[in-house]
Amino acid sequence: MSAISITGESTEMYLKSIVELEMLTAPPVAISHLAQRLGVSSPSVLEMVKRLAVQNLVTHTPYKGVSLTERGRRRAMAVLRRHRLWERFLVDALHLPWETVHDYACQLEHATAPAVTDALAAFLGNPTACPHGNPIPDAVGDVQPSVAVPLLELPVGQSARLAHIIYEEAILLEYLARRGLVPGARLMLEDIAPYQGPLMVRVDGSEHPAALGREIAARVFVLPD
């Protein structure tokens, strides 16, 4: 409303989280999942979701969940584009460590005008993927769909190449990187423990197989040979 007020930063954070969750689980996205992802209470999320619904950015089905409208999806893709471009910039130009750039990009993504976004993309040579392997939407918000599958769904004994990692928190990325799990790494699923037990993954160039919990394995996407 004024020169000072923040221009829909919350809105963008919600839209981004929704689009990310829609990629993992089929829409609609549960209020509680959003709440967990954003670190905010369910009533707060519900309230915000209602505000987003009024603006025609999401559809809320009571007791079911939220899905993005076309308008909301476009806005979310624009955020994702800015986020991943900044990540490329922070790694390629500023030489900041791979695992740390996600958080910095989360701040910059909300402070970037369209003209800056386009100029940044050109400066970087219009890259098509962020440093974690995730595709960068183009200027109209289109992404080429990934054919990679979650590591969780890779058959045992099947070798594959790591394509991308979603939900790029620094902690997770550091953990994976220390085990050689970076985009492009060759790996093979050796074993899956029963119940909610870990997956044993042999990474090329590593001495020991890595043990990954299922939560983690669901975020690592691979391209089988």
- Decide if residue 196 touches DNA (CB under 7 A): no
Q: Which is nearer to DNA, 13 or 77 (CB)?
A: 13
Within 13 Å and on the Cβ side, how many CA atoms surround 104?
14
Q: Which is nearer to DNA, 30 or 200 (CB)?
A: 30
Q: Which is nearer to DNA, 60 or 202 (CB)?
A: 60
Q: What is the CA radius of gyration of the chain?
A: 18
State the residues that interact with a copy of itself by CB under 8 A: 2-4, 6, 9-10, 13, 38-40, 90, 93-96, 100, 103-104, 107-108, 110-113, 115-116, 119-120, 122-123
Q: Which is nearer to a copy of itself, 108 or 220 (CB)?
A: 108
Please say whether the beta carbons of 109 and 83 come within 8 A. Answer: yes
- With CB under 5 to 8 Å by kind, the binding choice for 81 among DNA, a copy of itself, none is none
**Nearest distance from C-beta of residue 52 to DNA, angstroms:** 8
Question: Which residues, 6 or more positions from 60, have their beta carbon under 8 angstroms from its beta carbon?
Answer: 49, 50, 53, 66
Angle ∠(73,117,141) on CA atoms, nearest 5 = 25
- With CB under 5 to 8 Å by kind, the binding choice for 157 among a copy of itself, DNA, none is none
Candidate ranges 47-55, 132-140, 152-160, 174-182; the one touching DNA (CB under 7 A): 47-55
- With CB under 5 to 8 Å by kind, the binding choice for 113 among DNA, a copy of itself, none is a copy of itself
Whose CA is closest to 198, among 163, 151, 161, 157? 151
Q: Which is nearer to a copy of itself, 48 or 201 (CB)?
A: 48
- With CB under 5 to 8 Å by kind, the binding choice for 104 among a copy of itself, DNA, none is a copy of itself
- Decide if residue 10 touches DNA (CB under 7 A): yes
DSSP state at residue 31 = H
Distance between CA atoms of residues 180 and 202, nearest Å: 10
Residue 89, classified by CB atoms within 10 Å of its CB into exposed (0-12), middle (13-18) or buried (19+), is buried
Of the candidate residues 25, 44, 144, 158, the single one contacting DNA (CB under 7 A): 44
Distance between CA atoms of residues 54 and 184, nearest Å: 43
